[in-house]
Homo-oligomer: A and B are copies of this chain.
Amino acid sequence: MGMVGGGRGAFIGSVHRIAANMDGLIDLVCGAFSGDPEKSKASGADLMLPPDRCYGSFDEMILKEKELPADRRMDFVAIVTPNHMHYEPAKLALENGFDVICDKPLSFTMEEALDLEKTVKETGRLFALTHNYTGYPMVKQAKKMIEDGKIGTVRKIVVEYPQGWLSEKIEGSDHPNFKQATWRTDPARSGIAGAMGDIGTHAENLAEYITGLQIDELCADISILVPGRLLDDDGNVLLRMNNGARGVLFASQISAGEENNLKIRIYGEYGGMEWSQQEPNTLILRWHERQMEVYRTGVGKLYPEAEAHRRIPAGHPEGYLEAFANIYRNFVYALDARNEGKLQDPVYDFPTVSDGVRGMKFVERVIESGKSKNKWLKF
């Protein structure tokens, strides 16, 4: 694999590398870690890469790697740059025969998103988007239980994603997290949305993934609560799903004291389920007029989809990095299946470019609704 972005000090680049390393299936062989060739080489050296595989730009990487013999060149490209730098490397990689795994949200604009979707279709390349929260075993279990009708028709969804790290205006400061904060609050790098793009899209993706439903209409209150900021840091959204279910989605980066508290509750006719990213090995099933059940990773009979996404026995907690690694692993399985002319076992699914398009549409609509005086906006 070759990496675009993820130089020294980048949080998500390091996450992608650990995720890629974990199962011993992927070797990082090259990278364009920075637009500055010196920095790129320095970052590559930290990772024990030879200087000639540390490129000064993504196009240099893609074009030079393409010319290497098949057994030496990178197999696929991982894109871990800020939002405004997803489209170009992704497009170039696809067009030059490389499969792509890309951080979310998919792109800077809706147009880019649609063009990437088209390019994937045309080139026949594989494209994974790291909506990593769907990689957790208990998220898979939840999805299958709903598919199987265990809680009946879904009537209500509450999905929330409070963080508190932007409670102060740390962007442009010397705070340890200033680097993440600065680009995420900058319209030139993040696009039209702040919190809604960064984490609102995770909430939207998780809700639609687990329930198998789609948002049909929404009504959003999108706010900037820390003065001087240019992009939303808080958003609260009413949802109506395509089966008539009601919903609430909120995402916030000014919920002071919250860590990374993505949580979903889904209520159907017979019961409700709750999953929380900070305790990801637990899935709570509250049943109407009977005892609550607590499903745990590795305990009892779970769906094959859940079992396929854990590595170790019950009670040995697996977390964020393992879920992230599941996306990478499944992507590699899909590459292998494709290369061997086989069908990928659907148990090993991963988010695709189409999930990314949907996420971008969510961003577009939710920001539009935030500015509107009308209540409901069609998705």
Report A's interface with B, CB cutoff 8 A.
Answer: 11, 14-15, 17-18, 21-24, 28, 47-48, 151, 155-156, 158, 160, 162-165, 167-168, 177, 219, 221, 223, 225, 234, 236, 238, 240, 246-248, 250, 252, 254-261, 265, 267-272, 277-280, 285-296, 298-301, 311-322, 372-376
B residues in contact with A290, CB < 8 Å: 299-301
Instruction: From A270, A271, A321, name the one whose CB has the most chain B CB atoms within 10 angstroms.
Output: A321
User: Which residues of chain B come closer than 8 Å to A321, judged between CB atoms?
Assistant: 22, 311-312, 316, 318, 321-322
Residue of B nearest to A225 (CB): B155
Q: A269-B167, A320-B312 are in contact. Are A258 and B286 (CB under 8 A)?
A: yes
Shortest distance between the CB of A340 and any CB in chain B (Å): 16
A-B CB contact pairs (8 Å), 5 listed: A165-B313, A177-B313, A248-B250, A258-B315, A259-B296
Question: In chain B, what residue has the closest Cβ to A320?
Answer: B316
A375's nearest neighbour on chain B, judged by CB, is B375
Q: Is the CB of B317 within 8 A of A280?
A: yes
The smallest beta-carbon distance between A221 and chain B, in angstroms, is: 5
Q: Which residues of B contact A47 (CB under 8 A)?
A: 24
Chain B residue contacts of A301, Cβ below 8 A: 290
Chain B residues, Cβ within 8 Å of A289: 299-300
The answer to whether A252 and B168 touch across the interface, beta carbons within 8 angstroms, is no
Q: How far is the CB of A207 from chain B (nearest CB, A)?
A: 14
The docked-state distance in angstroms from the alpha carbon of A247 to that of B14 is 35
Q: How far is the CB of A216 from chain B (nearest CB, A)?
A: 12
How far is it, in angstroms, between the C-alpha of A311 and the C-alpha of B296 when the chains are bound? 24
- B236:A278 contact, CB within 8 angstroms: no
Tell which of B151, B168, B285, B316 touches A319, judged by Cβ atoms closer than 8 Å. Answer: B316
Q: How far is the CA of A18 from the CA of B318 in the complex (A)?
A: 12
Expressed in whole angstroms, the Cα–Cα distance for A248 and B160 within the complex equals 11
Q: Does A164 lie within 8 Å of B286, measured CB to CB? A: yes
Tell me which of A165, A316, A373 has the highest count of chain B C-beta atoms within 10 A of its own C-beta.
Answer: A316
Q: A28 — which chain B residues lie within 8 A by C-beta?
A: 24
How many Å from the CB of A71 to the closest CB on chain B? 13
* Contact yes or no, A18 B14, CB < 8 A: no
Give the Cβ gap from A224 to chain B, nearest Cβ, in Å: 10
